[in-house]
Amino acid sequence: MPLPPFLSNLLKGSSRARPPIGATPLTRKAFFDLAQECRDYAAELARHEQSRVSLKHCHDFNAWLGRVKCYERLGPALATLTPARPVSRLQVMVLAGVLGLILLMALPGRVERGLGSVFSYGYLFSLLMLYFVPERLYGTTIELLEAKVLRVVDVLDQIHHAEELGFTEAAYFRVKENLETARRELREQIDLAHRRWG
């Protein structure tokens, strides 16, 4: 019997089959579009709470990263960039709640009453403590997504500065502006998140 998606994500870290790295040539149009996507993505992520896990954004990032890694110039440079872990607090709490209820229902006939009460109170205390565990320990928060997108922006910027794609002057400066805007937005958001929690 297959595991539910949120449980398999929790256990495997959402490591799905990866597309072939470096199979697609990186054209000027694709590079230009990626620079614009990074800028738009940075602006989109900035509108969300930095310390929370957004399942939608995690899944979108994983799909986008798979597509980015397919380009011949980006795949090897981003080979160590891991996919996002789409595991939310609600999923962890539901899983802990279900497992705890099964355990508590199995206890009455197997342990004495005093020990059962200790297990029950311990379970409730553990659930309460689990609620306050930071989401970044089991899932990929918006802040961590921004750091991953920033790494993509840095790799794109290195390729852009090498001037190997032969952009026209207008396109060159448009790509430069997009990458600089994306980098500035991402760094500001990461810096704000660190100031808030650090």
Q: List, for residues 28-46, the tens digit of each pLDDT value.
A: 999 999 999 999 999 999 9
As a dihedral over the C-alpha atoms of residue 30, residue 47, residue 195, residue 81, rounded to 10 degrees, the angle is -30
Q: Domain end: 74, 98, 131, which one?
A: 131
Residues 74 and 171 in one domain: yes
pLDDT of residue 114: 80
Report percent pLDDT > 90 for the chain: 49
- Rounded Cα–Cα distance for residues 32 and 78 (Å): 18
Residue 79 CB neighbour total at 10 angstroms = 11
With a cut of 50, say whether residue 59 has pLDDT above it. Answer: yes
Rg (CA), the chain: 22
User: What average pLDDT does range 9-31 have in this prediction?
Assistant: 66
Q: How confident is the model at residue 117 (pLDDT cuts 50, 70, 90)?
A: confident
Bridge partners for 114 per DSSP: none
Number of domains comprising the chain? 2
Query: In this structure, is residue 8 part of a structural domain?
Result: no
Residues 36 and 126 in one domain: no
Residues 80 and 31 in one domain: yes
pLDDT of residue 40: 95
Give the torsion sign (CA, 136, 142, 143, 149): positive
Range of the domain at 108: 89-131
Query: In this structure, is residue 75 part of a structural domain?
Result: yes
Residues 34 and 75 in one domain: yes
With a cut of 50, say whether residue 14 has pLDDT above it. Answer: no
Is residue 144 a contact partner of residue 181, using CB atoms and an 8 Å limit? no
Chain centroid to CA 182: 17
Residues 76 and 153 in one domain: yes
Residues 171 and 74 in one domain: yes
- State the residue for tokens 């990929």: 140
With a cut of 90, say whether residue 121 has pLDDT above it. Answer: no
With a cut of 50, say whether residue 97 has pLDDT above it. Answer: yes
